[in-house]
Chains A and B, each alone.
Chain A
């Protein structure tokens, strides 16, 4: 389409770097957002629930019932803060959000255990939180009868044995950090370039640029290049922080990981440039950036399992670069996969980057009409 003259390309690149150097806010965002997000996500996204506020309604008041509640308390899953006798109080406690779970031990608990009839116990759960519900269901599988009879509880007593590959300790940051690289990159980079071109238009700079021999390809590529370096620096920062704070490993090839990151960075920057050709102001650019960020965050498999989504959502997710990057990053970092083994995701991401860049360049018209 339009030619690229290296000197002009260099001119735009250098200008962008000079401007960036003076732009304290962007500067702070480059380092601040990754660090903040890593800490937030690393510590907050923890599906391994502990210390759920719980109420204990022990109507049995027997040795066994106390033993049972003590045991559950020690498991650290439940934190029995409120003890009572009246099951009707549970309603209020749940509604006010004072507890998430209530364990009701009926008065005929001993008799039921002795007779071997079920259920012995009732676990009332705040169903508004999916994670709490799942946790409660896991606890419910706890072999109470065996335990109370004094039989040894061995893993083989449970019909299904769960073995976790790659993350045997079930550490949440291990699952989170690889995808988080992508989430942070797309959030910051799309925003940077989405604003960059609109700002140039708002400040009248574009009116001057279009009167010079500068081509749209030189302008867009020149703008993207410095941000590629920034994106790679951010990737490094997240990897280092992830390693130092959460012990997240890179089991696969570092080169593969950076190559995947590079293409993902280009895809995000091109998306940002494309957005900036569609909006009228910096404010709209910010909104548009968030508008593209949310579906990527929610559908990519970073936060919620891809397999759990309905088919149309999965198809949509396949269009988003973050979906592919999350797979690549998890594969390379945790499963020691080679890029070649994951080439489909790599190709999909590269295709997105290429198409977005071409469309963006085509949309950046060096004319007024």
Chain B
């Protein structure tokens, strides 16, 4: 099945239009339009409850959309969900393999589910055990693994069928920073091999690593593009305010109309303003308030993009 995908390489892995999911009165996903190119790491960035998981579940065909169309790997979802399942991998937010089975028993089980015969399963498992450093752990019960080990096992199981498209729902929420770095190395290795990855996260540093990003808020798409593009097109500017009394400066600035957010970072303030030329005005305002401060333009980061994108919504409602 992977041989036929070559001719589709140019077409996006995921195309969704008007994707909507309502749970009773609550709209979890609202009129979402998405295009995920092949072979890239695509990020879903947003706070908890913004509709990331619901969207992923609809894209896998596990949830039926209330409205909208979804095509994943040239299949109509959820109509052809069964055919899709053999070609995708899904790493769930919480560990969902069997804690009372050993590492190797879990992997063998998954291999059989994907219809691998004994010989093929053995080859594939050997490869995975080497890649994801599970050799020492094969006989250990999955329930006794550490967070990082468990995550490597989950990833090995999710990619066992060599999926063309891999969904990862907040995969790093339960692991330490070193494991997170290792994990992302593994994801890039998969992307290099041609796998399309869709990762949801609420970590800025992880979002920064994605080829493309979609910022979600309350089920709606607030911004979309490469991290670079998103930062360059940030509406407004980010200012760094350094002074002896950052908390006082914060109080003085919060009320201003142009100020979108004001976050203290150590001894300085990071101020996001919507007006790109607001720097002199801010400086003046601080002086008037009797605060001696140095104000400089800072390079925009994803946090600024995220705040700008989600703040707009906050004002609108």
| A residues neighboring B (CB under 8 Å) | 5, 7-8, 10-11, 14-15, 18-19, 22-23, 203-214, 367-369
B115 engages A211 (CB within 8 Å): no
Contact A15 B101 (CB under 8 A): yes
CB-CB under 8 A from B157, the residues of chain A are 208
Give 18 A-B pairs besides A11-B113, A14-B112 with Cβ atoms closer than 8 angstroms.
Answer: A8-B112, A8-B113, A10-B112, A11-B109, A11-B112, A15-B98, A203-B96, A203-B98, A205-B98, A208-B92, A211-B60, A211-B62, A211-B85, A211-B92, A367-B63, A367-B78, A368-B57, A368-B62
Size of the chain B interface, CB-CB below 8 angstroms: 33
- The distance from the CB of B182 to the nearest CB of chain A, in whole angstroms, is 22
Chain B interface SS verdict (over half): loop
A7:B98 contact, CB within 8 angstroms:
no
Centre residue among B85, B95, B105, B112 by max chain A CB count within 10 A: B112
A129 CB, min distance to chain B CBs, angstroms: 47
A-B contact pairs, 30 of them (CB 8 A): A8-B113, A10-B112, A11-B113, A15-B98, A15-B105, A15-B109, A18-B101, A19-B98, A22-B100, A23-B100, A203-B96, A204-B94, A205-B98, A207-B94, A207-B96, A208-B90, A208-B92, A208-B97, A209-B113, A210-B62, A211-B88, A211-B90, A212-B85, A212-B110, A212-B114, A213-B86, A213-B115, A214-B113, A367-B78, A368-B63
Q: Does B35 contact A (CB under 8 A)?
A: no
User: Which residues does chain B contribute within 8 Å of A203, judged by CB atoms?
Assistant: 96, 98-99
Give the shortest distance, in Å, between B163 (CB) and chain A (any CB).
10
B64 at the interface (CB under 8 A from A): yes
Q: Would B64 and A7 count as touching, CB distance under 8 A?
A: no
Q: Cβ of B100 and Cβ of A367 under 8 Å apart? A: no
B113 with A205: CB separation less than 8 A: no
Q: Which residues of B contact A204 (CB under 8 A)?
A: 92, 94-96
How far, in whole Å, are A22 and B106 apart by their CA atoms in the complex?
14
Alpha-carbon distance between A22 and B86 when the two chains are bound, in angstroms: 30
Q: Which residue of A lies closest to B167 (CB)?
A: A211
CB-CB under 8 A from B109, the residues of chain A are 11, 14-15
**Measured CA separation A85–B1 after assembly (Å):** 98
Partner of A208, one of B81, B96, B100: B96
B-chain residues with CB within 8 Å of residue A23 when the two chains form the complex: 100
Task: Tell yes or no: B82 within 8 A of A by CB.
Answer: yes
Once bound together, how far apart are the Cα atoms of A367 and B85, in whole Å? Answer: 12
Instruction: Give A18 to B90 CA distance when docked, in angstroms.
Output: 24
Q: Which partner residue on chain A sits nearest B110 by CB separation? A: A212
- Output the residue of B81, B100, B141 with the most chain A CB within 10 A: B100
